[in-house]
Amino acid sequence: MTIREPSDVQIINNLLSQPFISEHFQDEFDAILKENANSLIVIDFYATWCGPCKIMGPKFVKMSSEFTSVVFIKIDVDESEDIVSRFDIKVMPTFIFMRNGAQIVRGSKPFRFLSFAIRCC
């Protein structure tokens, strides 16, 4: 698991008490989904070279500190191809909302993502 510097996100001390998680490998990702199955999980599939991803990234991180009951995960599409393939990601950013192991919302429009997150949380 890769964790960003404290200036970008809060360092994870305990997975269940700290909602923001960064890039993952398949086994770690599956464990996070299983451990947090009853929580709302929001996954941001992004690329470091993607303009809209660069704009949305700080908003996503900010939301992770505002909505502490939600698990926020960022997946770099160039570093986690197995997960990207599993979720059939074709455009970036793509946001997937999950609960109880199932996708409940999927989209690539940042405005829709933000408005849905605000209503859900």
Identify the CATH number of the domain in which residue 100 sits. Answer: 3.40.30.10
**What confidence score (pLDDT) does residue 85 get?**
92
Structural contact between residues 85 and 29, judged by C-beta atoms closer than 8 angstroms: no
Residue 119, H or E segment: helix 110-120
**What confidence score (pLDDT) does residue 22 get?**
57
Domains identified in the chain, total number:
1
pLDDT in tens, the chain (121 residues): 444 443 333 333 333 344 455 555 778 888 888 999 898 898 999 999 999 999 888 888 888 888 888 888 889 898 888 899 999 999 999 999 898 989 988 888 766 666 666 566 5
Q: Is residue 34 part of a domain?
A: yes
Classify each residue of 2-24 as buried b or exposed e, where b means 16 or more C-beta atoms within 10 Å of its C-beta: eeeeeeebeeeeeeeebbbbbbb
Residue by residue, DSSP assigns 79-100 as T-HHHHHHTT--SSSEEEEEET
Distances, alpha carbon 7 to alpha carbons 15, 21, 32, 114, in Å: 19, 14, 23, 22
* C-alpha–C-alpha distance, residues 40 and 23, integer Å: 18
**What residue numbers bound the domain in which 77 lies?**
20-120
**What confidence score (pLDDT) does residue 4 get?**
41
Q: Is residue 110 part of a domain?
A: yes
Cα three-residue angle 83-84-89, rounded to 5 degrees: 145
Token duo for residue 22:
């960064």
Could you list the active site residues? 50, 53
Question: What region, left, alpha or beta, does residue 34 occupy, with left being phi > 0 and alpha being psi -120 to 50 degrees?
Answer: alpha
Q: Is residue 10 part of a domain?
A: no
**What confidence score (pLDDT) does residue 24 get?**
59
